[in-house]
Amino acid sequence: MNWYAIFAIYVLFWVISAFIVLPFGIRTPDETGEVMLKGQADSAPSNFRPGMVAIRATILSAVLFGLYYANYVEGWVTLERLTHTY
């Protein structure tokens, strides 16, 4: 596997991981006791921290990519094993 493929697959894992970890730790103004602004949605987050989302996504994507790459090298789960009927 060349470096371009590794980078592209890792970026895909990172984007998916960012969407997975995005809602963790988010609180609404109702939960934090803050006053809502005029026109603000009830579900709008009051404590959004993009840096924390990036850190969590990086950790999760590194773990997932590590598992993917280990499977690529070792061949634990292959198409033949998935389609094999017993």
User: Domain limits of the chain?
Assistant: 3-83
pTM of the model: 0.83
pLDDT for residue 81 is more than 90:
no
Strands of 1-86, DSSP E: none
Q: For residue 78, what are the contacts with CB-CB under 8 A and spacing of at least 6?
A: none
- Reported as a single tens digit per residue, the pLDDT across 9-33 is 999 999 999 999 999 999 988 888 8
How far is 2 from 5, CA to CA, in rounded Å? 6
